[in-house]
Amino acid sequence: MTVFRTIFMLAPAIFGVAAAVPMDGAAEPITRVAVLRGLPREGAAKALAVKLTGVVTYMGWENFVMHDGDASVFVDFHFSRAKGYWQGAVPDLTSLEPGAGVEVEGVTDPGGFSPMVLVTKFRRIGAQMMPPPRHPPIERLLAGAEDTQWVEVEGVVKKCDTSGKGPDCLTLVVHGHPCPVVMRTRLKRSNGQLVDARVRVRGVVLNLANLRSQVAGLKIHSNGDQDIDILIPPPTDPFQAPRVALNRLIPFAPDADLDHRKVSSGVATFVVPGRFFYLLGDGACVRVEPADPAIKPGDWVEVAGFIDTTRILAAFSGALVRVVGKGQVPSPDQPQIAEILNPKVRSWEEMVAEPGHSDSNGRLIRLVGVLRRVMPRDKEAKVTLVIESGKDLVQVLLPVADEQTARAVAQWVEGSVVEVTGVCELEMVRLDELPWFSIAGFHLWLSSPRDLRVVSTPPWWTPQRMALILTVVLLVLALALVWGYAMRRQVARRSGELAEEIAARGAATLEFDAILGERRRLANDLHDTLEQALTGLALQLEITERAMGSDPGLSARHLHLAQQFLERSRREVHRTVWDLRAHGLDGRDFLDVLHERVADMVEGSAVGITVDREGTAFALPDLLAGNLLLLAQEAVTNALKHAAPGKIEIRLKFSDAAVELSVKDDGRGFDRLTAPGQYDGHFGLQGMHERVKRLAGWLAIHSISGQGTLITVRVPLPDDPPHAGT
C-alpha cells in the first residue's frame, strides 16, 4: 500500500501535470469513464468537469480505483487538495473496501500515465457487486492499454516475497513474461503453497511508467488472498519436478513447459556466496542464482529452479539447492582471447560424440596480464579490475563482502603482472539483420582475492609515481617562481624605499651644506661689512679724541665721518640680512665706489691710498662687483689693523676672460704659518678664501715680515660681459 501511494503521489509531479483551471459551469460534466479514458493528455489537462458513480475495485492511502460498470479510473485526493480542488482534510478511506459504492465529482487530470480524476465532492452510497474482471491478452497488458482496469490473469508463481520490508509481492510468469503482483494486505498462504503453483489472480493494472510518461513495465495491484485462486498446486517436493540436462535446458519440444521448476544436478565449480554459482554437468556450465552460503566449489548439488529465459544463454533463477555429494572441480583452461570471442560452432555429430558446449561461458579460465586499473567499489559492492592481456583489455569483477577483502584489494599495485583465475561470462548481443547472436566481449568473476596472484610488481618508476614526482617538481617550480616574483617585488619595493631614503638624506645633506654655506657666506658678509665699518669707525673716533682739545673743527669733522660709517654699516647689514645678495653699485662706476669706500677708511690718517686700473674697463655684474668691493675693503681693513702701513696701492686689471684685483701695502707683513686664524677669532683671510671660491676664482697672498703684503684676486668673467667703456 505504501508503494502504491508513493508512486501515485509522485507521478503527476514527475510528468509535469498541467495547472488546474476553474471548471466551466456551463459545460456538461463527463459521466462515463470510457469517455474520460478516451481523452488525450492535452484534453485531460484542461480540467474538464467530471461526475461519476461506480464501485471501488482497489483502495490506496489517499486514492482509489472506481469502476462505473464499463471501465475503471484512478481517483486521487492528495493532488486534489494540493491543487485546491478538495477543501479540508482528506476523508478516511480505510472504511472503503472493494465493492463499496461511491459518487465522485471533480475534474480531469492527465495523471502520471493515464487520465485520472481530481476530486471536488465525494460521497459513499453503499455496497455494490464487484464487476466481472477482464481477461485481456498479454499484448494489451504489456502495451499499457489496460491501465487501471480490473483484470484477471493466469500464470505460475515464480517468486513470493513476504519479508515484511514492504508489501507482500508475487512474481508471476504470464506467457513467459514476468508480472509483479503487489498485495494490499498480507498474504496468509506460505511460500511453499504458492511458489511453482499455477494461479489465477484478480487485481487492478497499474503499469510502471518512465520519466517520459511511457509504459515501462507490467504490474498488478491485488486486494489480498481472496483474489488468488490456486489452479495447480506446486509439487510437495520441489526436487520431484521434471529433470533436464544442463546442456539441454531449453530444447525443442512440442509440449515444452518453461513456466514451472526444473531439476538438474552437477558439480559447483565457482561460487560467489549469496549471489550465484556455476554448475557443471553434461559437459555444460550453467549459472544458478541465488547461491546458498553453505555451497563450496567441488560440492555435487541438485538444483530445483526456474529456467531464466531473459538471458540469451539460459540459466536457473529462484533456485533451491541441496548438496548430495562431492565432485571434482576441473582445472582452469588457458585459452587465447581470440578463442573465447570466436568459438568453433560444432556439428550435431560432434555434439553427440562429446556432449556439452564449445563456448567458454561459465568455464574456469586463467589469464596472465598486466593490472592496469583498480576501480573503486561500486554500489553493488564489487570491485572492477582492468587486465591487459596481449593487446586486449579484460574486465575482472570481484565481490567485496568484508573489510579483509577490501584490504587485500588495496595492496594490489597497478602495473603489476598478475595471474587471475575465474569464471568466464560471455556478453552476447542480438544481431538485427540476422536471426543470430554475436559475442561482443566477456568478463571474469573472481570469488575471492586468492583468485588473483601477483607474478611481479612494477618497477618503482611507475607512470603514476613519475606523474606524481613531475607534479611535485612543477609545483615546487611554480612556488619558486611565485616566491622569486614576490622577492623581486619586495626587493624592488625596498630598493625604491632605500632610494627614497638616500635621496631624502642626500637632499638633507645638500640642504645642510647649503645652509652651512649660506651661514658662512652670511658670516663673511657681516664680517666684511661690520668689521670694516667698525675698523673705520674706530679710526675716526680715535682721531676725533686726539683732535678734541687742539682742533675742535677737525674733531667735529671726524665725528661726522664716524656717523657716516655707522649709517653705512646699518644699510649694509640691512641689505645683507634681507637680500642675502652681494652689494650692488646702484648704477655708479665700480672704481668710483671703490675709491670712495677705501678713502673713507683712511680719512684723517697718515696712510696714503691709491686706486688704479689696467686695461679697458667695462661694467661688472652686481654680484661680481659687490664681492670685489668687499674683498678690497677686507684687504685694506687687515692692513690698517695689523700692518701699520704708510701706503696702500689698489689696482684693478680688466681682460676679456677675467678681472684681477690686487691690494699691496708696505706694512710690517706677516708669517702665514704663525699668523692667527679663525680659531683665534680672526676670520678675514678665511672669509676672503671662501668668497673667492664662490666666485670660481683664485686668491694669492704674498707677505714677508717687514716688507709688506700683496693680495691678488682673479675672478673669471661671464661668457658675454656688457662692455661700458671708460
Cell numbers representing residue 552 in the block:
675742535
- How far, in Å, CA of 544 to CA of 209, rounded? 140
What's the rounded Cα separation, in Å, for the pair 120 and 300? 66
Q: According to the 3-state scheme, what is the secondary structure of 605-620?
A: CCCEEEEEEECCCCCC
CATH number belonging to domain 335-345+354-458 = 2.40.50.140
What residues contact 226, with CB distance under 8 A and at least 6 apart?
A: none
Task: Evaluate whether 205 touches 149 at the Cβ level (below 8 Å).
Answer: yes
Which H or E run contains 711?
Answer: strand 709-716
Least confident of 192-196, 351-355, 581-585, 638-642: 581-585
Q: What are phi and psi of 510, to 5 degrees?
A: -60, -40
Every domain of the chain and the residues it spans: 2-127, 138-234, 335-345+354-458, 460-569, 582-726
User: For position 677, what pLDDT does the model report?
Assistant: 59
Neighbours of 469 (CB within 10 A): 11
Banded model confidence at residue 271, pLDDT cuts 50, 70, 90 = very high
Mean pLDDT of all residues in 625-639: 84
Sign of the CA dihedral running 95, 99, 101, 107? positive
3-state secondary structure of 415: coil
In the prediction, which pLDDT does 1 show?
Answer: 39
Cβ atoms within 10 Å, residue 331? 9
Query: Of the spans 174-183, 425-434, 549-558, which averages the highest pLDDT?
Result: 174-183
Q: Which helix (H) or strand (E) holds 21?
A: none
Cα–Cα distance measured from residue 310 to residue 306, given in angstroms and rounded to the nearest whole number: 11
Domain 2-127, CATH: 2.40.50.200
pLDDT digits (tens, 9 = 90+) for 6-18: 444 444 433 333 3
**For 205-250, what is each residue's pLDDT tens digit?**
999 888 888 888 899 999 999 999 999 999 999 999 999 999 888 8
| All three cell numbers of 284 | 555444460
pLDDT of residue 261: 92
Tell me the residue length of the chain: 726
- 279, exposed or middle or buried, with CB in 10 Å at 0-12, 13-18, 19+? buried
- How far is residue 168 from each of residues 184, 191, 221, 694, measured CA to CA in Å? 8, 11, 11, 119
- Give ∠ CA 129-130-134 in degrees, rounded to 5: 140
How does the average pLDDT of the chain come out, rounded? 84
Q: Do domains 335-345+354-458 and 582-726 have the same CATH topology?
A: no
Residue 538 — pLDDT band, cuts 50, 70, 90?
confident
C-beta separation of 302 from 327 below 8 A: no
Which cell is 438 given?
A: 554475436
291 touches 277 (CB < 8 A): yes
- Across 294-318, average pLDDT: 91
Q: Are 603 and 561 in contact (CB under 8 A)?
A: yes
Confidence grade of residue 256 (pLDDT, cut at 50, 70, 90): confident
Type of residue found at 155? G
Nearest to 371 by CA among 454, 447, 461, 449: 454
pTM value is: 0.59
Percent of the chain, pLDDT > 90?
A: 45
- Model confidence at 348, in pLDDT bands (50, 70, 90)? low
Single-letter amino acid code for the residue at 283: G
Q: Each residue of 362-415: pLDDT tens digit?
A: 999 999 999 999 999 888 889 999 999 989 999 999 999 888 999 999 999 988
Q: Which CATH architecture has domain 582-726?
A: 2-Layer Sandwich (3.30)
Identify the weakest region by mean pLDDT among 227-241, 393-407, 574-588, 687-701.
574-588
> Does 5 have pLDDT greater than 50?
no
Q: Are 645 and 609 in contact (CB under 8 A)?
A: no
C-alpha cell at 620: 661688472
623 versus 403: which is more confidently predicted? Answer: 403
pLDDT tier at 3, thresholds 50, 70, 90: very low
Angle (CA) 381-384-386 rounded to 5° is 175
Please give the residue that has the higher pLDDT: either 309 or 353. 309
Higher pLDDT, 54 or 496: 54
In the prediction, which pLDDT does 8 show? 41
**Can you give the pLDDT at residue 432?**
67
Identify the burial level of 354 via C-beta atoms within 10 angstroms of its C-beta, where 0-12 means exposed, 13-18 middle and 19 or more buried: exposed
From the list 244, 279, 264, the residue with the least C-alpha distance to 423 is 279
Kindly tell me if the per-residue pLDDT of 294 is higher than 50: yes
How far apart are the C-alpha atoms of 509 and 517, rounded to whole Å? 12
Least trusted range by pLDDT, from 165-169, 452-456, 650-654, 715-719: 715-719
Instruction: Over range 171-175, report the average pLDDT.
Output: 92
Q: Which range, 63-77, 535-549, 622-636, has the best average confidence (pLDDT)?
A: 63-77
The CATH number of domain 138-234 is 2.102.10.10: no
- The whole-number pLDDT of residue 584 equals 53
Looking at residue 434, what is its pLDDT? Answer: 61
In this predicted model, which residue has the larger pLDDT, 655 or 549? 655
Grid-cell match 707677505, residue found: 703
Give helix 552-579 / helix 532-550 axis angle, nearest 10°. Answer: 170
**Higher-confidence residue: 554 or 290?**
290
pLDDT score at 352? 60
**Closest Cα to residue 589, out of 724, 429, 411?**
724
The predicted pLDDT at position 4 comes to 42
| Cβ neighbours of residue 415 closer than 8 Å, sequence gap 6 or more | 370, 371, 372, 457, 458, 462, 463, 464
Q: What's residue 572's pLDDT? A: 66
pLDDT at residue number 724: 38
